[in-house]
Amino acid sequence: MDAHNIKLTLSYDGTGYHGWQRQENGVTIQGVIEEKIRTMTGEPVRLIASGRTDAGVHALNQVCNFITRSPIDPQAIKAGLNSMLPGDIVITGAQYVPMEFHSRYRVKSKLYEYRILNRPDPDVFLRNYTWYIRRPLNRDEMTKSLSVLTGTHDFSSFRSAGSENINPVRTVSRAELYCPDNQIRIIIEADGFLRHMVRNIVGTIVDAGMGRLDANDIKRILEARDRREAGRKAPAQGLFLVSVTY
Amino acid sequence: MDAHNIKLTLSYDGTGYHGWQRQENGVTIQGVIEEKIRTMTGEPVRLIASGRTDAGVHALNQVCNFITRSPIDPQAIKAGLNSMLPGDIVITGAQYVPMEFHSRYRVKSKLYEYRILNRPDPDVFLRNYTWYIRRPLNRDEMTKSLSVLTGTHDFSSFRSAGSENINPVRTVSRAELYCPDNQIRIIIEADGFLRHMVRNIVGTIVDAGMGRLDANDIKRILEARDRREAGRKAPAQGLFLVSVTY
């Protein structure tokens, strides 16, 4: 059999996982899916994703691909995986792609959304899907602060330790918020993201929403290129990978 | 100290619990809250709810009350409980009520909502909060079938075994559906509910939505006063206790 390259789109609830990336100890999304593909095809496979997501982070439309010699067609792969996977991972699409397609190298942009529940009482149904902040946040100040981030910048101030050898310059094409009932949702789209970049940005923007910082401070923090200047890191459970563009 | 009667309103995600009612084995919502009240007040208490909910069933606004000699005021009870309770139970209100108030005996009506996700793909974020039905349901037929149920009837056909000595006549004041994005939500309001009544009704209405039954069949089933005539029981995770009226 010839080898095929199969692209999967999927959504997952990251609550119960130690993130995307396969690891020795701890259940990961990559690990669970690779195991089920192996069961279906009889071959060990290696999934390549658009990027890893951290423990507790969710995906509405993650993209990954794998090379297989199995003759099972993509629709059967999708149906078979969905029948075997736990309910917190769902394959939403499967298709053949050219052999040169690579889920990570070919990314043009990724869009993340961060969800904050901002009201007096918490919501039992959103506890794993939002950052609950009781104190009212100033949305205008947050919008102004976000606008400072669009464009091409060195985002070192918003990069967590552990990826220092990677070029820290990224182009943010969208950084805005919208507010469906009692939530503040922050959208950030860029050609790529540094480690914990969205969560570090959101933590800092929330400081602006609390009146501790303003848009000028955000500009200063960005220009400092120093992680110690920015605010705290927002918790994982509010973060969603919304889509990946190739 | 004089005794006080304190009424609580609360919401909970029933996914992790063996239902409302305290039991020897298994974590229950009543059990967890009673334990925290005991920690706060130093007294054993017995919570009286508007009614029990089964394992996996959720509440947006459950109501319960308890008698205490503690001088701690309701707002402090609410804040204290919320700081101690796990994230899947939230007290949304607390107030003194007259000693004769009883959460179960004084109920005038209760409103339940049952949520069905009806689309080709499941949703990872709704798996514990909807009944996922892939096959398209006929919503007009479901609406017609629901309308048969309003009014005062003997609901024996929709009562699960285990409560045979209770008067099976109930008055349903609302039985309707609405459809926010890809969901079918069935609302049923009545002066009281028999065991599994909403889930037995929903299972039967879904049979109508699949073309297996029509409104005339629902009428016949209702008049038969025999549980064996009705359809299957809908799963617990789609059911929400929305509100209780006194």
Query: Which residue positions of B form the known binding site?
Result: 112
Non-local CB neighbours of B126 within 8 Å, separated by 6+ positions? B115, B117, B132
Residue B125 to residue A58, Cβ atoms within 8 A: yes
CATH assignment of the domain containing A78 = 3.30.70.580
CA closest to B119 among chain A residues: A92
Q: Choosing from A2, A13, A54, A121, which is the catalytic residue?
A: A54
- A189 within 8 A of A198, measured Cβ to Cβ: no
Q: How many domains does chain B have?
A: 2
Note the pLDDT of residue B166: 83
By Cβ distance, the residue of B82, B89, B124 closest to A90 is B124
Note the pLDDT of residue A121: 87
Same domain assignment for residues A157 and A237: yes
CA nearest to A240, candidates A2, A76, A13: A13
Domain that holds residue B22: 4-97
| pTM for this predicted structure | 0.90
In a domain, residue B230? The reply is yes
Cross-strand bridge partners of residue A110: A190, A244
Same domain assignment for residues B64 and B120: no
Mutant choice from A12, A57, A78, A124 vs B, greatest count of B C-beta within 10 A: A124
Same domain assignment for residues B85 and B149: no
Residue A88 to residue B122, Cβ atoms within 8 A: no
Residue at which a domain ends, from B55, B74, B97: B97
- Assess whether B54 carries a catalytic annotation: yes
Same domain assignment for residues B172 and B214: yes
Q: Choosing from B2, B54, B121, B123, which is the catalytic residue?
A: B54
Q: How close does chain B come to A59, measured CA to CA in Å?
A: 10
Model ipTM value: 0.85
Note the pLDDT of residue A74: 97
In a domain, residue B152? The reply is yes
Q: How close does chain A come to B92, measured CA to CA in Å?
A: 7
Name the interface residues of A facing B (CB cutoff 8 Å): 11-13, 58, 82, 87-90, 92, 121-125, 127, 129
Same domain assignment for residues B213 and B156: yes
In a domain, residue A103? The reply is no
By Cβ distance, the residue of A12, A123, A125 closest to B129 is A125
Same domain assignment for residues A177 and A115: yes
Residue A124 to residue B12, Cβ atoms within 8 A: yes
Same domain assignment for residues B150 and B204: yes
For residues B210 and A86, what is the distance between their CA atoms, to the nearest angstrom? 26
Residue A88 to residue B124, Cβ atoms within 8 A: yes
Same domain assignment for residues A68 and A29: yes
In a domain, residue A104? The reply is no
Q: What are phi and psi of B93, to 5 degrees?
A: -160, 150
Residue at which a domain ends, from B69, B97, B125: B97
CATH assignment of the domain containing A182 = 3.30.70.660
Note the pLDDT of residue B231: 79
pLDDT tens for chain B, 246 residues long, are 689 999 999 999 999 999 999 998 899 999 999 999 999 999 999 999 999 999 999 999 999 999 999 999 999 999 999 999 999 999 999 999 999 999 999 999 999 999 999 998 899 999 999 999 999 999 999 999 999 999 999 999 999 887 777 899 999 999 999 999 899 999 999 999 999 999 999 999 999 999 999 999 999 999 999 888 877 899 999 999 999 999
Residue at which a domain ends, from B63, B97, B131: B97
- A230 within 8 A of A145, measured Cβ to Cβ: no
In a domain, residue B189? The reply is yes
In a domain, residue A164? The reply is yes
CA closest to A128 among chain B residues: B87
Same domain assignment for residues A124 and A227: yes
Residue B90 to residue A122, Cβ atoms within 8 A: yes
Q: Rounded to an integer, what is the distance from CA B137 to the centroid of its chain?
A: 24
The list of chain A residues with pLDDT below 70 reads 1
Same domain assignment for residues A230 and A156: yes
By Cβ distance, the residue of A82, A92, A125 closest to B13 is A125
Same domain assignment for residues A183 and A227: yes
CB atoms under 10 Å from CB of B22, counted, come to 19
3-state secondary structure of B216: helix
In a domain, residue B85? The reply is yes
Non-local CB neighbours of B38 within 8 Å, separated by 6+ positions? B44, B45
CA closest to A10 among chain B residues: B124
By Cβ distance, the residue of B82, B90, B127 closest to A87 is B127
Same domain assignment for residues A119 and A54: no
The residue ranges of DSSP E strands in A191-238, in sequence order, are: none
What is the number of helices (H) and of strands (E) in chain A?
5, 10
Q: How close does chain B come to A82, measured CA to CA in Å?
A: 9
Residue B82 to residue A123, Cβ atoms within 8 A: no
Q: Rounded to an integer, what is the distance from CA B175 to the centroid of its chain?
A: 15
- A160 within 8 A of A200, measured Cβ to Cβ: yes
3-state secondary structure A30-92: HHHHHHHHHHHHCCCCCCEECCCCCCCCEEEEEEEEEEECCCCCHHHHHHHHHHHCCCCEEEE
For residues B51 and B63, what is the distance between their CA atoms, to the nearest angstrom? 9
Q: In chain A, what residues touch B82 (CB-CB under 8 Å)?
A: 122
In a domain, residue A215? The reply is yes
